[in-house]
A and B are shown apart, each in its own frame.
Chain A
Amino acid sequence: MTSSLDSDLLNIAVLRWLDTLAQQGIFTTDRDLVIRSWNRWLEEHTGHLATTVVGRGLFEAFPDLEARGFGGYYDGALGGQMKVLAHGLHRYVIPALDAPDGELRQSGRITPLELDGVIVGTITVVEDVAERIVSERELRSQIEASDRARALAEEAVQVKDEFLTTLSHEIRTPLNAVIGWTKILLSRPVEAPMLARALEVIDRNAVAQVRLIDDMLDTARIMSGKLRLETGPVDLARVALAAIDVVAPTAAAKNVALRAEFEPEGLMMLGDADRLQQIVWNLLANGIKFTETGGAVTVGITSENANLILTVADTGEGIPVDFMPVIFERFRQADPSASRRHAGLGIGLSLVRQLVELHGGRINVTSRAGEGSLFTVTFPSRPDLASGQSLAADARVALANVRLLVIDDQPEGRDLLTVALEQQGAAVTGVATAAEALALLDRSSRYELPHVIVADVGEGADADLTLIRPLCARSPERGGAIPTVAVATYDHPRSKRRVLAAGFNRYLAKPFSPDELAATVRSLLRG
């Protein structure tokens, strides 16, 4: 008797110990579906205590189960059938006291409880699948996100393909004009009016080409986060006037009127004069492009509160409604087809927006079909800055009586530099190599020494070795103090750093205008 009691106690102890291990809810019923056991997991996960449910009928304790059709499952179990309860079809098995049913994530199974071939009751196992559901949901959203990313990437590839097609067309068109007219000029002597016309076309197309390439390079710089503004006090009015000057020939050729409706100076802000001009230029070029002959493009600048508001209005065809949301996106064009009527790369307005935002401004556009478009750019203004500090972008610099030495190993490049500087009144000597230049200095008296040396440094790789070091090592009488301008093949921050570190006084990247070159040279002249 003692031993039987011991064994009962032992069994109870073993069951309680097992209960602490259970990672699932487990309860049993007898054949009458009266709950006979209810484990600790169920107490913890549902809030229903064994003391309150054991001894009660299953459906009396949980009427919700019967309403959900569990009666049939338990009948089946008493008839020997095993029943799976998937979370996806049932959501939960046992409702919790303190959680809404919608928050429960359970699956389970109902099994007949057999003893020696006789079914004596049922056993129900409940599992919490919340973690599994969460991780599946995460995986699902990751898959959906990557599907979306793939779709976006595919669209980007398509936009880029369209862009490349456009690009080749856009690059070819001005080049065709330049090459065509150059061939005519080379093949036969032409009259003065014809020559003037040819040069005007070549000039206009070459300038257009430079602008195109500048825009592309800037777009690439912005995309790689490498565009840096050289910020200073800027008079937006002067910038706008300069931009109007640039596009005036294009507007005139198309018979589109250009109107400037703002004070000619005193609209001060902080910014990069070149980039601001690029903004105005692009907006103007866009307006002219979409305006029919006889129309007008109007630039306005007003000062409101602490802002400068630049507006560019055209009387063109307006912007299609469905294009408005993407108008400032890269490589977007309302009509990307090859047969489109309007030229352009589709980077101008995206570049404008990026440059505006780099200046702490914002851009909006409104448009009505057939009634033109209105672009509005808002910049923070700085009325405290004096107009006189504005960068002298419009200064027409004369280099009268200035002696210059030009070094460029490419004859065409050397000629171009020489002609551009001579037009400003300078006396220019051109040589091909640094060695020739140094030899020339050796032959010169101190009164014949050039005032400034302009050297093409290519990509700037070994500029210091060939010219600057030997030059700086010299005494002032032999040319050691002559200021230098490095002309680089293309603008690159690394090449600029290297060149200036080597000892050049100024850095100028191609392409640049004769005015810019002259202004740079002039900035180095003393007195």
Chain B
Amino acid sequence: MELTQVQEDALIELLNIGFGRAGASLSQLTGHRVVLEVPQVSVHPIAELEAVLRAVVADEVASVHQIFSGPVAGDALLLLEHRAAGMLKELLTNEAPLPLPLDASAREVLTEVGNILLNACLGTFGNLLQVQVSFSIPHLNLESVSDILRSLLVQREGLRYALVVHAGFRLRDAEVTGYLVIVLSVASLDRLIRAVEQWEQNDGGLQ
């Protein structure tokens, strides 16, 4: 399933609203201007996800994983390479984390960063679809991309798709890149994309 240019543009625009909200939260928390941007988004069958991720991140990553449920259900993950995770933590808190494995304080900060970003994006989707999305407690894991995908695959049956969103954090003259992965059932994705198109025609196009 490939997104049309119109769909992709609309999705980026919508995600940027959520990212903007997350950036504002982080700015308020840290006292530094934090800008979050979505330069790129793509959709892949989950079977292709490993190849897609391997092309952009190292095998070992820090991931914040949150399960969401409701009329639209799935898994949301923020993936950060270890170096990026440490750098982001340092930029946000003015304190370098201890060397790997990341210390508990760094994990907690990164968990909140993932939590803010995932909440903002999924909250935006929920508003768009006018449904309430519930979230599980987010967890931070340090593991390999293939282990993450294995745990995603064993969880649920059925054909699913992954929305892969490049997430650029810009703060204090530095840039850190992470990847947001939202795994949805075909039905959920279909619903989302149709709603996005609708939004683009009604509201988004007017902005």
Chain A contacts of B111 at CB under 8 A? Answer: 84, 86
- Given A82-B119, A132-B105, A133-B105, 14 more A-B residue pairs with CB atoms under 8 Å apart are A69-B25, A79-B123, A79-B132, A80-B70, A80-B132, A81-B119, A81-B123, A84-B112, A86-B109, A86-B111, A87-B105, A89-B30, A114-B134, A136-B103
**Closest 5 pairs between A and B when the two form their complex, measured CB to CB:** A88-B109, A86-B112, A86-B108, A84-B115, A84-B112
Tell which of A104-112, A199-207, A243-251 binds the partner. Answer: A104-112
Residue contact B133 to A88, C-beta cutoff 8 Å: no
Which residues on A are within 8 Å of B, measured CB to CB? 69, 72, 76, 79-90, 107, 109, 111-112, 114, 129, 132-133, 136, 139-140, 143
Q: Give the CA-CA distance A143 to B100 in the complex, in Å.
A: 12
Tell which of B6-14, B79-87, B91-99 binds the partner. Answer: B91-99
Q: Give the CA-CA distance A72 to B123 in the complex, in Å.
A: 13
**Minimum C-beta distance from B79 to chain A (A):** 17
User: Which residue of A72, A82, A90, A140 is within 8 Å of B115 (Cβ)?
Assistant: A82
Chain B contacts of A82 at CB under 8 A? Answer: 66, 115, 119, 135-138
- Grouping DSSP codes into helix (H, G, I), strand (E, B) and loop, the B interface class, with mixed when no group exceeds half, is helix
Chain B contacts of A132 at CB under 8 A? Answer: 104-105
Q: Give the CA-CA distance A136 to B95 in the complex, in Å.
A: 12
Residue contact A136 to B137, C-beta cutoff 8 Å: no
**Minimum C-beta distance from A98 to chain B (A):** 25
Q: Give the CA-CA distance A140 to B104 in the complex, in Å.
A: 13
Which residues on B are within 8 Å of A, measured CB to CB? 25, 28-30, 66, 70, 89, 92-93, 95, 98-99, 103-106, 108-109, 111-112, 115, 119, 123, 126, 132-138
Residue contact B108 to A80, C-beta cutoff 8 Å: no
Chain B contacts of A143 at CB under 8 A? Answer: 98-99
Q: Given A69-B28, A89-B93, A112-B134, do A84 and B98 touch, yes or no (CB 8 Å)?
A: no
Chain A contacts of B137 at CB under 8 A? Answer: 82, 84, 109, 111
Q: Given A82-B115, A132-B105, A143-B98, do A88 and B134 touch, yes or no (CB 8 Å)?
A: no
Chain B contacts of A69 at CB under 8 A? Answer: 25, 28-29
Q: Give the CA-CA distance A107 to B115 in the complex, in Å.
A: 14
Residue contact B115 to A83, C-beta cutoff 8 Å: yes
Q: Give the CA-CA distance A82 to B122 in the complex, in Å.
A: 12
Residue contact B105 to A88, C-beta cutoff 8 Å: yes
Q: Give the CA-CA distance A88 to B103 in the complex, in Å.
A: 12
**Minimum C-beta distance from A426 to chain B (A):** 72
Chain A contacts of B70 at CB under 8 A? Answer: 80
Chain B contacts of A76 at CB under 8 A? Answer: 119, 123
Most central of A80, A90, A129, A136 by chain B CB within 10 Å: A80
Q: A82 — nearest CB in chain B belongs to which residue?
A: B135
Most central of A87, A114, A143 by chain B CB within 10 Å: A87
